[in-house]
Each structure stands twice: as C-alpha cells, then as structure tokens.
Amino acid sequence: MVLAIKLSFLLLLTLFSSFANYGFSLYEDQVGLMDWRQQYLGKAKHALFHSSKSGRKRVVVSTEENVIASLDLRHGEIFWRHVLGPNDPIDGIEFVLGKYVVSLSSEGNFLRAWNLPDGQMAWESFLQGTSPSKSLLLVPKSLKANQETVILVFSRSCLHAVSSLDGEVIWKIDLTENSVEIQKIIQLHDSDIIYAVGFSSPTQLDQFQINVKSGELLKHQTATFSGGFSGELVSVSDDVLVTVDTARSNLVIINFKNGEIGILQSPIAPVIDEFSGLMEIVPSKLSGLLAVKVNSLLTLVRVKGEGELEVVDKIPGQATVSDALLVSENQHAAALAHHEGSHMHLTVKLIDNWSTSFIDENIVIDKQRGSVQKVFLNSYIRTDRSHGFRALLVMEDHSLLLVQQGEIVWSREDGLASIVNVVTSELPVEKKGVSIAKVENNLIEWLQGHLLKLKGTLMIASPEDVVAIQNMRLKSSDKSKMSRDHNGFRKLLIVLTKSGKLFALHSGDGRVVWSRLLQPFHKSKDCAPRWLNIYQWQDPHHRAMDENPSVLVVGRCGQSMDGPGLLSFVDTYTGKEISSSSQTHSIVKVIPLPFTDSTERRLHILIDAEGRAHLYPQTSEAIGILQSEFSNIYWYSVEADSGIIKGHALMRKCVDVVDDYCFESKDVWLIMLPSDSEKIIASATRKLNEVVHTQAKVVADQDVMYKYISKNLLFLATVAPKSSGEIGTTTPEDSWLVVYLIDIVNGRILHRMIHHGSTGPVHAVFSENWVVYHYFNLKAHRYEMSVVEIYDQSRADNIDVWKLIIGKHNLTTPISSYSRPEILAKSQSYFFTHSVKAISVTSTSKGITSKQLLIGTINDQILALDKRYLDPRRSINPSQAEREEGVIPLTDSLPIIPQTYVTHALQVEGLRGIMTIPAKLESTTLAFAYGVDLFFTRITPSRTYDSLTEDFSYALLLITIVALVIAIFATWVLSERKELQDKWK
C-alpha cells in the first residue's frame, strides 16, 4: 500500500503542475479569447483615391479624430493608419510624386510625407510663422512623378515653398506686415506664376503674384468693394473666384484676367425664386459651377462672363455635391446625393452639360445612418471602355460607405471613434428548453474537443489541431450569446457617440447588436441637437422582470447652456426609442439619485441654468420618494474659471413656475479660491455604485483602522495660474499643486496638501477611502503619482474589547456629515515613468478582491498596477509583521512590469477613457477602454480563485483519476501476492 500511495502522490503532483501554467500565464493562442480590439478612423474630412496597375487600389482619408489612413478600396480594411494626437488636427492632404501622400496639420505647423504603400513617414517639416492664420495646401499642377517640385503651404501668415523630395523649405514670404488673410492659392495654366489672394479688411482684396521657383514677389495688387466680403472664397475656374457680400444677398465675382483684378456684383434674387433669408456658398470645387444654399435649398449656379448667372439645378431637402472629377480631356463630372424617402438618390453628371448623366441610381441605406454629409467621387474604366464611378459617402452618423453600381460595397462604423460616454445593460435571461439532438451534438463536440485539448497538453497536436483548438475555444466559450451567463461576463455596452448615435455592443466579441441615430427625431430649423451624456434609467431585477431595461440620453439644442433640454428614453434590448421630449427648461447638470420607484426606474434631478431642479420621472410616486429624502439631497458645482466651488440643496417647490416637479435650490456653502495663486484643473468623486466590503482594516500589529467611507467626498486639484499651461512654461519656483478633499454636504475641507514645484495635467481616481492622482514634478523633471488614504479616528476606541463588553462603544452611532469628524490622513508619493491619458480602478461585485489601478499610458496601452504599490504605509525596512501583512518595501519609483499590460502588445489609439464593470464572479472585473480604437478584456486582480479556467483539461483530470484507480488496484494485487508469498516462507 505504501507503493500505491507514493505512486498516487506522484501522479497528483504531475497533474497539478500541468494545470499551474494556466493560472499564471497567457499563451499566444489565448490572446483574443477574453478580449477584443476594434480599430476605427472617425468622421472623414478629406479623401484621395489612388489606383495603380502594380499595387492594390486604395483610398487615403483624414478624419476629425486627427487620423490619416489608407484603406483597401475593395473591402474597406485598413492598410496603414497614423493617429496624430488631440492637438494636431489635419488641415489637408495631397498626393505628390506618385509615391507620397503629404499631410498639413496643426494649423499649418507640420508638413509630413507618408510613403503610400506602407505608411512610413518619409520626411517631416516644421513650418514657422509669426501669427496664427488659415492654413492652405497646394501641389502645383506641373508636378510629375519622380520630378522634384515645390509644395506650397500658407500658414501662420507666411507662404512656404517646400521640396517634395526631402521636406526642405526652399523659400518663404512673410505677409504679416500686409495683415492679409490668404484665402486661395491659384496657379494659372501650368505657369510658373502663382496668385495668393486674400482679405486685408472687410472691404479690401489683396492679390500677390509670386514666382513659384524663386519665391520672388512680382506684384502686389489691391481692390476695394464697398459692399464688403463675407465668407470664404470659392474657386469657380482658374481665374474666377466667388464670395458673398456682407448682406449675404449678392454674389461677388472676382476675376484675374490679364493679371488685373476685376470685381462684379450679381444679385441672387433674380435667379432664385422666392429668395429670402441669408445665402450661403457651399465650399466645393466644381470647375464652372457654384453651389449655393438658401433656406435649405441647394442651388447649382453657372457663372458666365460679365457676372451673368444661370441656374443649373435645384435640389430641395438634404443634398450634397462632390468636387469636380476629371474624367477625360477637358471634361469634368460631379456627384450629387440627396434623399428621397427611404432611398438615397445618387447621380453623376457632366459639369459642362448638366443634363447628361453618367449614372442615376437609387440606393437603399439604413435610415439610422442619417443623411449624406460628404461625397467623394472616383472613376474607373469598365471592360467595355466606358466610364464607371464609385462614391465614398460620409454619413450623418460619421460612418463611411463605398457605393458602386447601386450597391453598398462596404461600410465602416467610424462613429465609434468618438464615444462620449458608456453605460452597461444586462442581457435577457436565457429561455429554458433544449432539444435532444442539440444535447447529443454538444456531447460529441465535447468529447472531440477534450480529445484535442489532451493532444495539445501532451504536445502531440499537429498545426491543424492547434487551429482547431483555437476555433473550438472561440466557439465553445459562448461569449457571443445573446443571453446572460451565470458569471456575468456577457453584457451590452451602450455607447453614445459625438454624432448623437447610440450603439449596443456585445461584450463578448464587440459586434454591434443595434444602433439608433437620435438626431433626425429632434432636428429642426430651431434646434440643432447636441447630445451630452447617457444614464441608467430602468434596470429591472425582481419587481419588474417583465420590463426591458432602458437608458436616458440627455442633450440640448445648440451650444448655449441656456438652450432647451432634450430627453430620449431608449430600450437597451431592441434600440427602440420608448419616448422623447423637448423640455422648456435648460439642462446644465444631471444628478442620478440612489432611489428607484416600483418599476425600478431610477430618479434623476436635472439642474437648469437658473439653478432650479427638475425631477424625473414625473410621477406622483417619484414625488413621494423625493419628499421623504428631501433633506438628504445635496450636490455641488465647480466654476473652474472663477475658482468657486458651491454646495447646493433643495429648498422648496418653484414659485414662479406652474410645475409640480420643479424645485428651487439654495446655496449651502461656498469656497472661493484665490485667483492669483490657484486655478482649478481637475476633480474626482467616488462611483455611486461602488461596493465596499468592510470598513475595518487590520494592520500588522493586530490593530484596527477604520476607513472613512463617504460618497460625499470631492477631490479637487489646483495649480498656480502661471503653470496652468503646457509643461515647461514656468519654473519650479513659480509652480505648485494643491489638492483638497472636501465634504460636499457642509463644504468642510477635510484634507489639504501642497506639492511645491509641481504642475498638471492631473489625472485622479477616487475609490473607498483613498485617492490616487498623477502629475508632473518640475524639480525632478519626472512624473509622479501620489496616494492619500483617510481614516476615521472617531471609531478608534472600538478596538477596546472591554468597552464593547460594558457597552461604551460607538459602533451604532450614526455618521453625519454635519458632525466634525476626526480624520487621519496618510499620504506618499512615487515617481512614475509614464505620462498618463486616463486612469481608473477595478471594481467587483462584493468589493472583496484586491484593487488594481488601470492606467492608460502615453503610448496608448493600459497598465494594471497593484494598489499595494501605492500604500502610504510602505517603508524602507518594513517590520516582520508588516511583511506578513503584504506591505512592500519602499522604493522611489513605481514598477512597470511588461506582463501587467492588459492590452498585451496592442494599442488603443487615441485613448480617452477606461470604464470598469463588476462581473457576478467576485474575482473578475470587466474593463472597456475607448478612444479612436475600442478594447475590452476581463481582469482578475487576485487570480481566478473562485473558478476554473475555460481551458481547464477535464479529459486529463478524468484520465488521471482512472490511472490512479488502476494503480491502486494493481499495487493492491501485487501487495496481496507478496504477503501470501511471505507467509509461505
């Protein structure tokens, strides 16, 4: 029997050693099982088509998210992409030399050339100037492949000529003294002379004639127009420009024939019937035509000699026209897109003969994409040698579509590159009942799958088996099912984008379950909706399981804070808009309350510009709930520009407004910071739904410290006004960072600390009783992270057991924000090597699992940093008791461990925010990061201590148990036989 026990122990040791790797490492083939990433571009501003006989057809686009990318024209996939950063907007793109695409960005400061096939940067040129101005990019028409020429750039009041081969500035002309805002750079008939045209005053036009090769200023002419110039100059032909007068009722036609300036005024009323209102010129390059919009009517006007105007076409409603495209010698075509009912009508016409149409197609487009915003036209030669056309459409929801032969070839949901906010929703409960055939099929797949897993464990799997194992993992994980799972991993991510569109993304694989564009239902002449945020509205659990969950989307009309508010209630299962309304009051702030009614709708208070509070839902039950908690509702406001923090509370019902759900508010407290020494730059509060497992914290000497847990705490960071700009603009002596912890109920400052020689930007996260913030130390020339933990000293006597026995304890004493708490604050600072874009903290369902900070670094990756490294009790030589508790010895820097990057080797380009969602499984947190890209993953800060991994080998466990039984039986037989032989001896 001793031999049997030893053999069993050896087999068990081998079994658990084989399983140990699964819990503490991540193999290459496991990437993508629990996480996903999606790459986007944003709303396209410019597009250039490129076709070559040797290479693949592509389209190069630049977007509002400062992205320049090359897309496969066949499938819409990304060949290469560069995200230039939030402060580097792209002003224009052009092709040069047949192998580069040049981009002008950052208001004309940077000119870069990108290699067309692979996107590598060939050169970069920094263009200096004297004063901010409009930026223009022009590649002269005489440019031929592999022949050096100049690229003309106007930026910061200077005209530059840049070499297309190496980016060197050949010549530069400073126009600051002339105070001219250049509007157009024109080259006439492939000559060496260019014309720079602009305005030096509302009534004066300036023209500069420049030799493009030498940069010599040949002539400077001016002309005045008493009616004044308004808006931009639009090029109608090589020598004719058009703008509007100050009254916006007449066209101003400017020509440059024979090198002289001629100005003609042509009224628009005679050619447009029932003209009223203001006229607007649509920026376009139509080579002979002009697009004018009057009262939402798009009119195409041909400009003839001597200022004569001819109306070519009138398109009512939403319509968009493309730039002119050269299809053959001296023939140009343009695309016109407008909506007719549920269809989009696309026509391509010859500009010189507008009655001639190359194509005339009706295309079915999902109405949730909205109207067409921009059209980019491209042509190709068909097999019958006729001209074919494809159009790249930019839609109202920022999506990108390629249309050809009346069909949508591909589409991209690039609106997801501009997410405003995210909430989550539970999926429906899975319905009971499974067929016998499905059970048998699943049993066979289960056996086959575990056989493959066993081969992989024993390292005898073929490459085909490895692929099959990975596919089986993706299929068997059930992560993309449209129902809840018992671990709470599957959820719906409801995201609101800048375009006003809602998307429901499945957390399993990131696919779009449904989408809804809110704009068309609220857009009107008097209201241009701007959607601000999204909130949980109804989340049924027990009392209302037959109801679908829903969200509240809040917006306002226009940019003004006084604009009327907009509310939209959307079903998160179907995407259907349950109801919507336009409010008479404005919406400045939304306060979700921790109360729900009988249908589990969460109560919200909407604060208007006059400080009044409006209750939603507007029901008598909601009024009753609010009245019972009337004296316990407080909120705060931060006026960063004036340095004022205020506390507010409800006072009474509105007197001058007949509305039972309107309440007046009062100012409870006010903190005014000195404007000459402090400027507010950041604030943070705790999550409303955060769960704290225990208030007590047992330290090394068996003492108990009580966390100061309050949802009414505000973290505030201020800097010296001189250092509120970019890092390095001030000296350490003139810089300081001040942080506050403020109780928003009574305005009491619980803690204040100054970091001398430090400045922003500040990123902070508040959880339980601690706050962690990131900033820059000018003295050390390094980034730092500091932690502040606060403890309740008024409960310190509760550790005395004798007081508990005789009843002299205060465990049952209610905590009030109006009482003066005895606070103990502990803090510590550490160097951190990275700049930070976003910071968050993991959250779990019960709050038991240890915390990790999720830090979005400057290289667009997410680092998981254990909170124990940011423990203020760390010391250089911790005691033995502290070591046993887990206190890490003090170092001046926080560690950067490559294995702790939750994004692995991936990047979340343009990272703006990180959201954490607790799963039902206590060990697991769901993390969603968004920017230009989207990334989702599951994080286990304390490992998966409460579950087995998905790739746990049950087959190997079964084989081990069988082997143990056989070994025990065999050794028992051998042992009995040996005993029998010994007895015969």
Average pLDDT over residues 335-348: 86
Average pLDDT over residues 871-896: 88
Range of 470's domain?
Answer: 2-33+431-480+950-965
The reply to whether 103 and 118 lie within a common domain is yes
Q: Residue 436 — very low, low, confident or very high, per pLDDT cuts 50/70/90?
A: very low
Q: Which two tokens stand for residue 37?
A: 């990433």
- Is residue 701 in some structural domain? yes
Which helix (H) or strand (E) segment holds residue 716: the answer is strand 713-719
pLDDT higher than threshold 60 for residue 808: no
DSSP state of 707: B
pLDDT higher than threshold 60 for residue 17: no
Q: Residue 625 — very low, low, confident or very high, per pLDDT cuts 50/70/90?
A: very high
The reply to whether 494 and 465 lie within a common domain is no
Taking every pair of Cα atoms in the chain, the longest distance, rounded to a whole number of angstroms, is: 132
Residue in the structure block whose two tokens are 């487009």: 365
- Is residue 263 in some structural domain? no
Note the pLDDT tens digit of each residue in 28-41: 555 667 889 999 99
Query: Other C-beta atoms within 10 Å of 874: how many?
Result: 18
The reply to whether 20 and 101 lie within a common domain is no
Q: Which two tokens stand for residue 851?
A: 């915390």
Please report, in angstroms and rounded to a whole number, the separation of the first and last CA atoms in the chain: 21
What amino acid is encoded at 639 in this protein?
Answer: E
- Is residue 569 in some structural domain? yes
| CA gap 496, 532 in Å, rounded | 9
Burial class (CB in 10 A: 0-12, 13-18, 19+), 913: middle
Q: pLDDT value at position 341? A: 73
Does 941 sit behind a cis peptide bond, omega within 30 degrees of 0 on the bond before it?
no
Burial class (CB in 10 A: 0-12, 13-18, 19+), 900: middle
pLDDT higher than threshold 80 for residue 21: no
Note the pLDDT tens digit of each residue in 822-848: 888 999 999 999 999 999 999 998 989
User: From residue 342, how far is each of 185, 345, 364, 365, 371 by CA, in Å?
Assistant: 41, 10, 7, 7, 11
User: From residue 207, how far is each of 184, 213, 262 by CA, in Å?
Assistant: 10, 18, 11
Angle between helices 463-476 and 436-457 (to 10 degrees): 140
Of 190, 224, 258, the last residue of a domain is 224
Q: pLDDT value at position 386? A: 83
pLDDT higher than threshold 80 for residue 336: yes
User: From residue 946, how far is each of 679, 694, 938, 949 by CA, in Å?
Assistant: 47, 20, 15, 10
| CA gap 193, 258 in Å, rounded | 13
Q: pLDDT value at position 944? A: 78
CATH code: domain of residue 171: 2.130.10.10
Note the pLDDT tens digit of each residue in 39-55: 999 999 999 998 776 66
Helix, strand, coil proportions of the chain in percent (round to 5)? Answer: 15, 45, 40
> How many structural domains are present in the chain?
5
- Is residue 894 in some structural domain? no
The reply to whether 168 and 48 lie within a common domain is yes
| CA gap 425, 312 in Å, rounded | 52
pTM listed for this prediction: 0.87
- What dihedral angle (degrees, nearest 10) is formed by the CA atoms of 440, 445, 451, 454? -120
Which helix (H) or strand (E) segment holds residue 537: the answer is strand 529-538
Of 672, 698, 716, the last residue of a domain is 672
Q: pLDDT value at position 12? A: 46
- Is residue 322 in some structural domain? no
pLDDT higher than threshold 60 for residue 544: no
pLDDT higher than threshold 60 for residue 311: yes
Residue 638 β-bridge partners = 645
SS3 for 332?
strand
- What dihedral angle (degrees, nearest 10) is formed by the CA atoms of 917, 920, 922, 926? -30
pLDDT higher than threshold 70 for residue 802: no
The reply to whether 550 and 697 lie within a common domain is no
Q: pLDDT value at position 282? A: 84
The reply to whether 111 and 206 lie within a common domain is yes
Residue 621 β-bridge partners = none
CB 48 within 8 A of CB 101: yes
Note the pLDDT tens digit of each residue in 921-952: 888 999 999 999 999 999 998 887 777 766 66
Q: Which two tokens stand for residue 849?
A: 């699992």
- Average pLDDT of the chain, as a whole number: 84
The reply to whether 709 and 593 lie within a common domain is no
Q: Residue 522 — very low, low, confident or very high, per pLDDT cuts 50/70/90?
A: low
The reply to whether 594 and 565 lie within a common domain is no
The reply to whether 471 and 493 lie within a common domain is no
Q: pLDDT value at position 95? A: 92
Query: Other C-beta atoms within 10 Å of 621: how many?
Result: 13
The reply to whether 609 and 465 lie within a common domain is no
| CA gap 365, 346 in Å, rounded | 12
H/E/C letters for each residue in 469-485?
HHHHHHHHCCCCCCCCC
- Is residue 905 in some structural domain? no
- Is residue 297 in some structural domain? no
- Is residue 959 in some structural domain? yes
| CA gap 26, 442 in Å, rounded | 27
Please say whether the dihedral angle defined by the alpha carbons of residues 725, 726, 731 and 736, taken in this order, is positive or negative: positive
CB 121 within 8 A of CB 109: no
User: Which range has the worst mean pLDDT, 462-466, 727-731, 802-806?
Assistant: 802-806
Q: Residue 5 — very low, low, confident or very high, per pLDDT cuts 50/70/90?
A: very low
Alpha helices (H) in 545-599, listed in sequence order = none
Of 832, 866, 892, the last residue of a domain is 832
The reply to whether 77 and 196 lie within a common domain is yes
User: From residue 642, how far is each of 645, 667, 675, 747, 853 by CA, in Å?
Assistant: 9, 17, 7, 17, 32
